[in-house]
């Protein structure tokens, strides 16, 4: 009886009000579900409606899907998007793996510099790169015109599907490099030594031993590149629209954003189909990586891999890597910067004779452009911090609690990686038009912060998750032994120890927010413009100079932010 009596107060407390820990955990679940559902539910619902979602008179129908599937524009967009994604994945994966192997497994000169520079494209908006490519390699681009003048013809045509796929592949290579470089550096040298002992040459070792071992990283990068190719907006807008080529993203953009009377049902059906396709690809990715443990090659007794001696070929390999940087990244960025400081750019005249500050004067004397710069900095600084806090709380629930639904929470938190930015923006717009308590956010920077946060939860989680896993659980148990609850333990002990991961997550969030433009395409209004949107609008009316100046400002601000975080916060972003 005494035992029962002693246990009764504890049981009574369990049946009473929920503890602070459970309240916080369930609140986070509700918040995450809300963030994910806000763009997805309106898109799905709109696809079955006969009228816009915000109209009072509407009915359920399947006509939108029938109209969508029978549309010639859909067939064209589907084929073009698939080819672009497929070819760019092959090019990006091949280039990224080649550079990763050259840096991690050979004696190519300049490896450390290449490893650092390879991160640069990840911090630059693809819209900025696309404008730079157009300025240098477009039909009237500087290098294109110079070659036509010298040899009589242009050796490329980036208004073609193959040309756009090449540019998308160049942009995709850094992601493959980042995902593969770590696995290559931590390989167990004994496997390659065993292959050498039976006379295998370096190429055979790479093909039969090294590449199979890093297969999980290869599969993940290929799927990620394919999904990124499907949801790419910048290259189809800059190069595809003038050639009258439709892609999934430009189909949605033109159908909903540029028409006088948008067909909301058609757009909803197209967005739902697109979302379903990418979700299936993410599921396939998970299935392919389900048995990734079979490729484990980092053991307790593993030694440092011996680099392959390329002999004289190391300079050839170095030249190929340099060519990738110079032609694919260096010249476009240089052309963007040069175009921002000249009246016009042509090989027929020296750019030094055309130098001007007028493009920057146009930017800084235009209230919209100035406001877009300020908004981008505010949204990235404050919104990135808010998103980092939310993601940190989600991560500690998943990794540092006994919450029953933490695995399901992880799946929900990572799902936004399957949501293209343009669909996220479209869904959030329909949500604020449909849901009364969200309507005050319409046309404000808060709606952009909401959409950007939802999009980038997986980014922050990817930065914080490995750090929290490395913190010994004994610290939690020690705090609990002296009476601290879960929330106190996480807030006072776990998160302060993980401050390096928090800083890294904030840096990534800031950069992701700062270069985001696809999700803002449908959400901005007068007063809530961001740099990417101003660039698109300036480009759309033919003001290439101010568009280039805005791109230079965004690029310069990104470089300053990265330098400051490395010096002040000691955050190291390297491969």
Mean pLDDT of 56-84: 87
Could you tell me the CA-to-CA distances from 509 to 66, 387, 445, 514 in Å, in that order?
40, 7, 16, 8
CA atoms within 13 A on the CB side of 95: 25
- Residue 534 is predicted with a pLDDT of 92
Q: In the predicted model, is pLDDT for residue 91 greater than 90?
A: yes
| Average pLDDT of the chain to the nearest whole number | 83
Do the beta carbons of residue 268 and residue 49 sit within 8 Å?
yes
Is 262 within a domain? no
Q: What is the pLDDT of residues 372-408, one digit of tens each?
A: 999 999 999 999 999 999 999 998 888 888 888 888 8
CATH code of the domain covering residue 376 = 1.10.3720.10
Between 313 and 194, residue with greater pLDDT: 313
Q: What is the 3-state secondary structure (H, E, C) of 284-331?
A: HHHHHCCCHHHHCCCCCCCCCCCCECCCCHHHHHHHHHHHHHHHHHHH
For residue 107, count other CB atoms closer than 10 A to its CB: 13
- Residue 49's DSSP bridge partners are 60
Q: What is the pLDDT of residues 401-419, one digit of tens each?
A: 888 888 888 888 888 877 8
- Residue 574 is predicted with a pLDDT of 52
Residue 355 main-chain phi, psi, to 5 deg: -60, 140
Quick one: angle between helices 161-185 and 126-137, nearest 10? Answer: 130
- Residue 569 is predicted with a pLDDT of 65
User: How much of the chain exceeds pLDDT 70, in percent?
Assistant: 87
- Residue 136 is predicted with a pLDDT of 93
3-state helix, strand, coil in the chain (%, to 5): 75, 0, 25
Do the beta carbons of residue 151 and residue 222 sit within 8 Å?
no
pLDDT band at 303 (very low <50, low <70, confident <90, very high): low
Is 94 within a domain? yes
Do the beta carbons of residue 530 and residue 380 sit within 8 Å?
no
Is 517 within a domain? yes
Q: What is the pLDDT of residues 43-59, one digit of tens each?
A: 999 989 888 888 888 88
Q: In the predicted model, is pLDDT for residue 7 greater than 50?
A: no
Which of 168-172, 230-234, 240-244, 464-468 has the weakest average pLDDT? 464-468
Between 453 and 178, residue with greater pLDDT: 453
Is 276 within a domain? no
Tokens of 562: 């990265």
H helix intervals, 106-160: 111-117, 120-123, 126-137, 142-151
Q: In the predicted model, is pLDDT for residue 12 greater than 90?
A: no
Tokens of 430: 């329909």
Q: State which residues form the domain around 244.
A: 29-39+74-248+307-568
Is 82 within a domain? yes
- Compute the distance between CA of residue 74 and CA of residue 80 in angstroms, rounded to an integer: 10
Mean pLDDT of 188-217: 67
Could you tell me the CA-to-CA distances from 98 to 292, 305, 400 in Å, in that order?
22, 17, 39
Q: What is the pLDDT of residues 223-277, one digit of tens each?
A: 888 888 888 889 999 999 888 899 988 888 887 655 556 778 888 888 888 888 8
- Residue 505 is predicted with a pLDDT of 87
Number of separate domains in the chain: 1
Q: In the predicted model, is pLDDT for residue 186 greater than 80?
A: no
């Amino acid at each position: 009886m005494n035992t029962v009596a002693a246990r009764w107060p504890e049981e009574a407390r369990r049946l009473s009000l929920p503890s602070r820990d459970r309240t916080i955990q369930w609140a986070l679940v509700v918040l995450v579900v809300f963030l994910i559902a806000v763009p997805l539910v309106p898109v799905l619902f709109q696809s079955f409606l006969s009228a816009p979602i915000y109209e009072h008179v509407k009915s359920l129908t399947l006509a939108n899907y029938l109209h969508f599937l029978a549309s010639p524009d859909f067939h064209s967009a589907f084929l073009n998007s698939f080819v672009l994604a497929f070819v760019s994945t092959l090019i990006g994966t091949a280039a990224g793996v080649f550079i990763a192997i050259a840096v991690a497994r050979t004696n190519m000169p300049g490896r450390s510099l290449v490893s650092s520079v390879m991160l640069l494209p990840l911090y630059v908006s693809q819209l900025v790169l696309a404008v730079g490519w157009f300025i240098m390699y477009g039909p009237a681009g500087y290098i294109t015109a110079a070659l036509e003048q010298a040899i009589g013809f242009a050796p490329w045509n980036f208004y073609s599907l193959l040309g756009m796929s090449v540019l998308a592949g160049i942009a995709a290579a850094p992601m493959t490099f980042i995902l593969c470089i770590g696995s290559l550096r931590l390989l167990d040298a004994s496997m390659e030594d065993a292959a050498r002992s039976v006379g295998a040459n370096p190429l055979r070792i790479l093909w039969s031993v090294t590449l199979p071992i890093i297969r999980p990283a290869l599969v993940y990068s290929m799927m990620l590149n394919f999904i990124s190719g499907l949801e790419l907006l910048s290259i189809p807008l800059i190069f595809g629209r003038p050639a009258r080529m439709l892609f999934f993203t430009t189909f949605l953009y033109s159908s909903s954003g540029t028409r006088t009377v948008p067909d909301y049902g058609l757009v909803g059906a197209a967005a739902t189909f697109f979302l379903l396709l990418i979700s299936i690809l993410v599921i396939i990715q998970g299935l392919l990586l389900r048995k990734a443990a079979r490729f484990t090659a980092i053991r307790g007794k593993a030694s440092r891999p011996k680099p392959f001696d390329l002999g004289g070929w190391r300079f050839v390999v170095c030249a190929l890597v340099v060519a990738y940087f110079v032609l694919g990244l260096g010249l476009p960025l240089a052309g963007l910067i040069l175009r921002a400081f000249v009246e016009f750019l042509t090989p027929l005249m020296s750019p030094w004779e055309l130098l001007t500050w007028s493009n920057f004067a146009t930017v800084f004397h235009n209230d919209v452009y100035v406001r877009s710069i300020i908004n981008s900095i505010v949204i990235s600084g404050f919104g990135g911090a808010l998103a980092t806090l939310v993601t940190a709380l989600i991560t500690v629930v998943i990794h540092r609690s006994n919450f029953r639904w933490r695995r399901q929470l992880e799946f929900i938190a990572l799902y936004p990686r399957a949501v293209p930015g343009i669909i996220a923006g479209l869904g959030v717009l329909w949500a604020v038009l449909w849901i009364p308590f969200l309507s005050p956010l319409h046309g404000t920077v808060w709606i952009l912060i909401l959409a950007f946060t939802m999009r980038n939860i997986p980014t922050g989680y990817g930065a914080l998750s490995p750090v929290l896993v490395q913190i010994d659980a004994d610290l939690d148990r020690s705090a609990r032994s002296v009476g601290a609850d879960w929330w106190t333990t996480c807030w006072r002990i776990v998160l302060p120890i993980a401050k390096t991961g928090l800083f890294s997550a904030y840096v990534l969030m800031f950069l992701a927010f700062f270069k985001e433009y696809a999700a803002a395409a449908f959400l901005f209004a007068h007063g809530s413009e961001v740099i990417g949107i101003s660039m698109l609008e300036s480009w759309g009316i033919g003001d290439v100079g101010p568009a280039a100046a805005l791109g230079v400002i965004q690029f310069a601000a990104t470089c300053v932010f990265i330098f400051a975080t490395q010096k002040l916060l000691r955050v190291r972003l390297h491969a």
